[in-house]
Amino acid sequence: MRIAVIAWGSLIWNPGNLQITGPWRNNGPLLPVEFARISRDGRVTLVIFEGAQPQRTYWARSSFDNIQACRNNLAKREGTCPDYIHGLDVNGQLYGKPSPIAVKAVKTWLEAHTHELDAAVWTGLPSNWEEKRGRPFSPEDVVQYLRDLDNERRQRAREYFQKAPQQIQTAVRQRIAQCFGW
């Protein structure tokens, strides 16, 4: 089985122990991703976020030919459990519990790549904004969150924004550029 690993954030510049073959390609599926998750170290990271503007993602071929092994490898790299690693094969078999909007986008994209791919996997960590902040997500609240960080955490957050692929141009990224020049 030929499996794509879909990415839009730190996997691209820091694949760590992710086992892929070849370079990242910048013609992945259009997915609604946004800087809408607060990580353990305070960074604001990209996640699939319903209602966000679709963004062209990246993909690379997994070294694995088994979708479960590929999901486990991605889960290990992401520091999460395989439940948050979603997948879809060309026969419509779902892995994990991906959002319907992600399934539709990946299915359409896979159909256009059947000459080189049989399946795709991606990280499906949800936004935790309301849980962490106690209020609804908004670009303005991301700005406020970043202003409230200590210098060390703000520097880590800045690094993530600056390393995120330039083709990922979200509402939050545009607001951060206006407010901070990142």
pTM over 0.85: yes
Beta strand 119-123 pairing with 85-89: antiparallel
What is d(CA 39, CA 126) in angstroms, rounded to the nearest whole number?
11
What percent of the chain clears pLDDT 90, i.e. is strictly above it? Answer: 100
Three-class SS state of 58? strand
What's the rounded Cα separation, in Å, for the pair 171 and 23?
A: 28
Give the per-residue pLDDT at 170.
98
Residue 83: per-residue pLDDT? 94
- Ramachandran sector of residue 35 (left: φ over 0; alpha: ψ -120 to 50; beta: rest): beta
Residue numbers in the chain where pLDDT is lower than 70:
none
φ and ψ at residue 112, rounded to 5 degrees: -85, -5
pLDDT at site 8: 98
Question: Which helix (H) or strand (E) segment is 45 a member of?
Answer: strand 44-48
**Residues 147, 160, 87, 138: what is their CA dihedral angle, to the nearest 10 degrees?**
20
The pLDDT score that the predictor gives to residue 150 is 95
Give 77-106 pLDDT, tens digit per residue.
999 999 999 999 999 999 999 999 999 999
Judging by DSSP bridges, how do beta strands 54-56 and 30-38 pair with one another?
antiparallel
